[in-house]
Amino acid sequence: MAACGVCRTDLHLVEGDLAPRRPGVVPGHEVVGHVAAQGRDAQRFAEGERVGIAWLRSTCGACRFCVRGDENLCIEPLFTGWDADGGYCGYAVVDERYAYRIPEVFSDREAAPLLCAGIIGYRALRRSGLRPGGRLGIYGFGGSAHLTAQVALYEGATVHVMTRAPDARELALALGCASAQGADDPPPEPLDAAILFAPVGTLVLPAMAALDRGGRLAIAGIHLSDIPTLNYESYLFEERELVSVTANSRRDGEEFLALAAEIPIRPTTTEYPFEKAAVALGDLARDAVNGAAVIRVSGDR
């Protein structure tokens, strides 16, 4: 193991918002390491090769969703750091079919947050239905959002950021976003699409209100606090849409990593030594991390 990103889903597990599916499971699903040994019949990666382990750990391959190519909706999936041990440790095991090659352009520290924050943000961006040159609103601006913004900007979008953290607003503007304001403030223009990264259900209303006719809001998180009552005429009429994002497919991961290397995305990270993993989670809970938190397990390169 070289590095492991600290995802908000890890925090939800620690705080009890998500019940662990196995007692004492080791968290962490933004894992970068090097192959130490191969299982029987494993051929995809050579010993010593750098690989990544992401959230989606396995799928059944046989249900109606897997068969039609939507493995993120698999009826019997398993997830890293939830069903099986993740990356807050020295070694981990992964089915080679669900591991990723890490583009050489990224260091271990930079690559770690790409493996969930980046991949799920990419899927959320695609689920938002943003058209080329469109106006995108991003609600919450942490590890996933600051990576997604770079993809959207690269593809020609105008990006407006709504977040409560002053440092995050500064980062958004430094990356080239058109505006940055408070979490529930209206953007300076109507939005064609929006993504909610903050796990705060009350933000659904201002995000929906900011959408232009035909706009769509994608909710990127695995956990969200309760959404207040939606008035149909105020928030959904004129063909506005509200959609969720459920995990990711391996196709999403491969597409995103290739695009991230092409851009190339530059993750903003705060590094913690392995023994400070609990501090990293606490800082994430207090919104004290600008960009993404990464635990250094061994030497970076």
The answer to whether residues 133 and 166 belong to one domain is: yes
Domain that holds residue 203: 119-244
Q: Name the strand (E) or helix (H) holding 147.
A: helix 143-154
Residues 165, 102 within the same domain: no
Query: Is 23 within a domain?
Result: yes
Question: 143 and 188: one domain?
Answer: yes
Over residues 222-243, mean pLDDT: 94
Angle at 210 between CA 140 and CA 285, to 5 degrees: 15
The pTM (predicted TM-score) of the whole model is: 0.93
Shared domain check, 170 and 68? no
CATH code at 188?
A: 3.40.50.720
Q: How many of the other CB atoms lie within 10 Å of CB of 287? A: 16
Residue 168 inside a domain? The answer is yes
Q: What is the pLDDT of residue 12?
A: 87
301: in domain: no
Task: Indicate the pLDDT class of residue 299, thresholds 50, 70 and 90.
Answer: low
State the Cα–Cα distance between residues 113 and 54, nearest whole angstrom. 10
Return the half-sphere exposure (C-beta side, CA atoms, 13 A cut-off) of residue 11.
19
What's the whole-number average pLDDT of the chain?
Answer: 95
Decide if 253 is inside a domain: no
Q: Let me know whether 98 and 165 are in one domain.
A: no
What is the Cα–Cα distance from 15 to 4, expressed in whole angstroms? 19
- Assess whether pLDDT exceeds 90 at residue 17: no
The residue assigned the tokens 């993740």 is 86
- Tell me, yes or no, whether 150 lies in a domain: yes
Per-residue confidence (pLDDT) for residue 153, from 0 to 100? 98
- Per-residue pLDDT of 24-50, as tens digits, reads 899 999 999 999 999 999 999 999 999
Share of the chain above pLDDT 90, in %: 90
CATH number reported for the structural domain that contains residue 8 in this entry: 3.90.180.10
Examine the domain organization and report whether 111 and 223 are in the same domain: no
The verdict on 284 and 195 lying in the same domain is no
Is 254 contained in some domain?
no
pLDDT in tens, 94-137: 999 999 999 999 999 999 999 999 999 999 999 999 999 999 99
Pick the most confident of 12-16, 140-144, 213-217: 213-217
Q: What DSSP element (H or E) covers 279?
A: helix 277-285
Q: Note whether 99 and 169 are same-domain residues.
A: no
Q: Indicate if the pLDDT at residue 161 is higher than 70.
A: yes
Please give the pLDDT value at position 13: 87
Are 82 and 181 found together in one domain? no
Domain count, the chain: 2
Q: Is 195 found in the same domain as 106?
A: no
CA 100 – CA 264 distance, rounded (Å): 17
Q: Measure the CA–CA gap between 175 and 161, rounded to whole angstroms.
A: 11
Asked if residue 88 is part of any domain, the answer here is: yes
pLDDT at 80: 95
